Amino acid sequence: MTPQNVLEQLLALGDRAAQRPFLIEQAARLDEAGQAALAAGLKDKAEQFLRADIQRARQTAALLLDMAGVTGNPRHRALGLLAEANLWAIGLGEFRQAIERYDEAAQLYAAAGCQVEQATAQIGKIAAMSSLGEHEAALQTGRWAAQILEQQQAWFPLAKLTSNLAAIHIRLGQDAQALTLLEQAQSLYERAGLAASPGWARAEFNRAVTLRNLGHFELSVQASQQAIELLEQLHQPVEAARARQSLAITDYVLGRYNEALSLLDEVREVFLADGRRRDAILTELFISDCLLQLRRFADVLEKCQQVRQLFTELGTRFEVAQAILNEAIAYAGDGQFTAALDSLTEARGLFEANGNQTWMATADLEMAAVLLRGGEATGREGSEVEAMPSPGATPLQLAEQAMAVFQAYGQPVAEAQARLVAAQAAATLANPARARELLAETLAFAESHNVPFLTFQSYSLLGRLARGQGDRPAALEAYDRSIQELERLRGRLMVEFRAGFLEDKQGVYEDAVGLCLDMGQTGPGLEYAERAKSRALLELLAFRLELGVEARAAEDAPLVAELTRLRDERDRLYRRWESGDGGGERGVQAPPTDQQQAQQEVLALEKRITDLWHKLLIRNAGYARDAALWQVRAEPVQPYLTRDTLLLEYFVAHDELIIFMVTADTVEARRLPNPLPAVQELRQKLWVNLRRVARSQPAQVAAYTANAQGLLRRLHELLLSPIRDILAGYHRLIVVPHGPLHYLPFHALYDGRRYLLETHEVSYLPGASFLRYCQPLQGNSQAEKVRPFNRENPRQPVLSASSASPSSRPGLLAMGHSSAGRLPYTVQEAQVVAELWGGRTLLEGEATRAALRESGAACRAIHLATHGDFRPDNPLFSGLVLADGWLTTLDIFSLRLPVSLVTLSACQTGQHVVGGGDELLGLMRAFLSAGAASLALTLWAVEDRSTARLMERFYGRLAAGWTKGAALRDAQCQFLAGKETAAYAHPYFWAPFFLVGDAGPLV
């Protein structure tokens, strides 16, 4: 049997228990030349498996050592040691064990007088030494081996060695030297006749790394793509994954965070599937870079802790230092400046021990940024923040020192980042000339290389400098350019990541709005305010973006199946977490002590569900590549306003509250001295009052009513009295709150004699631009969800000619669920509402999520009377109880409900977390995205009996043809007019309900 036949049959056996005796038997039958050929064949197979199947690589290396035991040939053992060393180093990251085997193999070759093989044995060793921070020794060893290989014209091993030397220079930030070596390596591969080999491809994706670091982004992308294509053709999935990782990092630098996250997720799955835990954990470090930009700091800290733990065990300080650096940035982003500086000091020390000047400079640059941000947070100059440890240099000095290092090492991207931080520091030190000089150079690089994150920040600072010097037109132009770049960055994100990304970037909108008002440009000021509000929700409506849990491609199916399984498990566990008696409120109480375990299990499941959902959305966020969808603009407002309607849009800009007053013909604005601290205090006191009423006897409520009116009167003085002259001329109000004002019941503000709803019909919107998208449907077609602007008659939406008439649509679906009898009036309420409309009722066991999915889309209105739960810790799991489980925000994203009205008659259904960009995260957002034209929601816990009475009046008026806004106002006013018990006059009973969206007829 020939050596090739032996090798083929050996590998075909698969199982090591069968392979070993077969190998021993056949190796003994071969002559010396045959044994040498078989050993060489096994070594080649081990190398191939190393790049594709780590378990088979381990198995093949063990077979080589078995064979050496049979033949007693030291060369065979050396080959086995090299295969095992490569497994430890490249596959598993166990570098000390690898170096021991490389050294033993080299000694065997030296003893046999095999100089070329001895030099070849150093190829993997120098990479392992570099990983342990022994760079100089690795370079010295590499130079010695290269000299021998060149003398002997061993071009193939010399090419591999040259590639590994280049990798050391990349690690040290010496990219120009690395690029030269990589080009030499590729020439050597070609000289050896291996131009399309895996080694050439690996050199190509390492070349992509150097090109990126040197600022040649397009060439870097091309190199990565070429390497990926070749490695896939060569059936090297693991190496192709490494090339994708390089491409992902380039995407990250260019602000393409969604593309980067998608690629990195693919890469991690490849590594995990092949048992490469070290590579998979390292990928988590690169993922954390993206998550820092999305301000997901808890996730960053979790991932970096994994990296620290594993790489500390492996003894690779460089990766540990990188993880600590990202931890520091996360701490700073979360406002923990002292912890950030401590971590930066630790990371810098590790980089210094590693001899890495560029990463030491990176740590210094982050230290400068932290000092600047800490100074802004405390109202002092960053370098003088006494509570934080001092690095011994000012932010400007640290940034300029880092800039010099990056310039010396030829790293223009890092140099531009350092120049921007230096400009920010110079501006803080009232040195605008130096700041402008630095910004001019930063912008020249950022614009020529298309780096929007640098461009956005640079123009924002230029705007502040111009405004400080009194040049308002130049300042507004700079702010506008900054906002364009910011919105381009934001537009490249999966929609659910956009709120987090914008959390710390609202300042430029506030600057632009304030400057527009200074210049008397009220209309443009309103437009900038609108561009800062709830854009993700608006884009869900405008571009029909889908957030539902559904498989949009075959590869999504396993992920959707796992999400479904986890959601069912979460539903089961959540029942254990819930408290028992709700005290007559349609909400949930705090979990008792014996339910803490269930709570922790639920929270862990929810995190897993959220992560998998985000993974699904990232995969399907093709819209993030469409430049046409990045253009953010405000939708027209005035064409949708009637003559008796006033839209009040509030906007918080630094220390001012701005009120835009928009009518069918005019746009005005007024500025108020910052009332937010007082508003916050009054809101907290009002919430205390409401909670006390919920637990009080009727006789006690009168006292609480007077207290509530006093609080609401002070809120009226702050938020409405300054515009009372405008309010008097309009009957209908549309309120667009901002920031903390979203938590206020504007319709219940009290002027000392009357509540606002007694004089005005009040409805709400997340932003004025939503007026276009909440116009009532004249049919039941889902295609009507987006209504293009009608240029012939701008007051009307464009409607499909095939739309059904209102009378052809089914009436109302009312669902009532009493939560095991705790809320008996929910069932009665649903029955009464359905009777008023001749609608359909689904009660108790019939009130299911499945029934809502099947029947809801065909109705004009949906009424849900049940138990609700607001989850401020994770609004994705706020929800309503139905017979077959919780209907959560996540579930609602999968529904299609193009209905005129959805009423959520449960506790806190209108509560939401106000995220970055004034994004309202909760049930309201989900139902609007599902297609509802309007929602009746609650701001706080609602009492069961009074809610049923209010809903009876509300739907009675709707059935009589009243508009939604007028019907809700009338139902609430009956409590004030004494038509119900006197106790119900307290706002606790009637004011939680508010109307969002279209306030017109129920069609």
pLDDT of 807: 43
Q: Which pLDDT does position 785 carry in this prediction?
A: 36
pLDDT at 361 over 70: yes
**Tens of pLDDT, residues 365-375:** 999 999 999 87
- The predicted pLDDT at position 789 comes to 30
d(CA 438, CA 453): 16
Q: Which of 587-596, 747-756, 842-851, 860-869 bottoms out in mean pLDDT, i.e. has the lowest? A: 587-596
The per-residue pLDDT for 114 is 94
Mean pLDDT, rounded, for 707-714:
97
The pLDDT of residue 1 is 82
- Three-state secondary-structure class, residue 711: helix
Q: Give the whole-angstrom CA distance, residue 690 versus residue 678.
A: 18
Closest CA to 174 of 15, 390, 392, 405: 405
Least confident of 262-271, 447-456, 780-789, 814-823: 780-789
Tell me the pTM: 0.89
**What proportions of the chain, in percent to the nearest 5, are helix, strand and coil?**
65, 10, 25
The phi and psi torsions of 352 (rounded to 5 degrees) equal -65, -45
Give how far Cα 326 sits from Cα of 143, 249, 294, 403, 778, Å: 34, 15, 13, 20, 53
- In this structure, the strands spanning 901-905 and 885-888 are unpaired
Considering Cα of 791, then 792, then 795, then 796, what sign does the dihedral take?
negative
pLDDT, mean of residues 12-36: 88
Q: Are 862 and 899 in contact (CB under 8 A)?
A: yes
pLDDT above 90 (res 122) = yes
- Residue 585's pLDDT is 60
For residue 631 the two structure tokens come to: 């253009």
pLDDT band at 105 (very low <50, low <70, confident <90, very high): very high
The amino acid present at 590, given as its one-letter code, is: A
Q: Work out whether strand 812-816 and strand 840-843 pair parallel, antiparallel, or are unpaired.
A: parallel
pLDDT digits (tens, 9 = 90+) for 915-942: 999 999 999 999 999 999 999 999 999 9
Rounded Cα distance between 303 and 285, Å, is 7
Sequence-distant (6+) residues with CB within 8 A of 349 are: none
Q: Which of 141-155, 642-656, 779-793, 975-989 shows the lowest mean pLDDT across its residues?
A: 779-793
Instruction: Give the up-direction half-sphere exposure of residue 423: CA atoms within 13 A in the CB hemisphere.
Output: 26
Q: Using alpha carbons, list the distances in angstroms from residue 153 to 191, 192, 203, 735, 809.
A: 10, 10, 20, 80, 84
Between 492 and 574, residue with greater pLDDT: 492
For 583, left (φ over 0), alpha (ψ -120 to 50), or beta? left
Mean pLDDT score, 318-330: 97
Assess whether pLDDT exceeds 80 at residue 705. Answer: yes
Beta bridge partners of 645: 732
pLDDT digits (tens, 9 = 90+) for 727-786: 999 999 999 999 999 999 999 999 999 999 999 999 999 999 999 888 765 443 333 333
Angle (CA) 320 238 549, round 5°: 85
CA angle (642 as vertex; 640, 646 as ends), nearest 5? 95
Burial class (CB in 10 A: 0-12, 13-18, 19+), 633: exposed
Q: What is the DSSP letter of 755?
A: B
Using the predicted structure, report yes or no on whether residue 788 has a pLDDT greater than 50.
no
Res 635 pLDDT > 90: no
User: Which H/E stretch holds residue 180?
Assistant: helix 175-191
**41 is written with which tokens?**
């064949």
pLDDT bracket for residue 631 (50, 70, 90):
confident
pLDDT digits (tens, 9 = 90+) for 572-610: 888 766 654 444 565 544 445 456 787 888 999 999 999
Residue 137, token pair as written in the block: 């020794």
Q: Which whole-number Å values give the CA distances from 572 to 567, 569, 576, 595, 602, in the listed order?
A: 9, 5, 7, 13, 9
Specify the range with the lowest mean pLDDT, choosing from 338-347, 694-703, 814-823: 694-703
pLDDT in tens, 447-481: 999 999 999 999 999 999 999 999 999 999 999 99
Is residue 799 predicted with pLDDT exceeding 70? no
How much of the chain, in percent, has pLDDT values that exceed 70?
Answer: 93
Instruction: Select from 568, 590, 564 the least CA-distant residue to 577.
Output: 590
User: In this model, does residue 362 exceed pLDDT 90?
Assistant: yes
DSSP assignment string, 850-901: HHHHHHGGG-SEEEEES-EE--TT-GGG-EEEETTEEEEHHHHTT-----SE
Arithmetic mean of pLDDT, 311-331: 95
CA dist 120 → 89, 150, 201 (Å): 15, 11, 20
Q: Give the ranges where 254-296 is alpha helix by DSSP (H).
A: 257-273, 277-293
pLDDT at 838 over 70: yes
The reported pLDDT for the residue numbered 578 is 65
Return the pLDDT at 587: 58
Residue 891 has pLDDT above 70, yes or no: yes
Residue-level pLDDT at 171: 92
What are 46-103's pLDDT values in tens digits?
Answer: 988 988 888 999 999 999 999 999 899 999 999 999 999 999 999 888 999 999 999 9
Q: Which pair of tokens denotes residue 142? A: 């590499």
Residue 549 has pLDDT above 90, yes or no: yes
Q: For the stretch 678-695, what's the b/e string if a residue is b when 16 or more beta carbons lie within 10 angstroms of its beta carbon?
A: ebeebbeebeebbebbbe
Phi, psi of 14 (to 5 degrees): 75, -55
Largest CA distance in the chain: 109
- Give the relative orientation of helices 54-71 and 32-50 as an angle to the nearest 10 degrees: 160
Asked whether the beta carbons of 264 and 247 are under 8 A apart, the reply is no
SS (H, E, C) 638-668: HHHCCCCEEEEEEEEECCEEEEEEECCCCEE
Confidence of residue 626 (pLDDT cuts 50, 70, 90): confident
What's residue 6's pLDDT?
A: 87
Average pLDDT, the chain: 90
Show Cβ contacts of residue 373 under 8 Å, excluding neighbours closer than 6 positions. Answer: 332, 337, 382
- pLDDT at res. 988: 95
pLDDT of 790 higher than 60: no
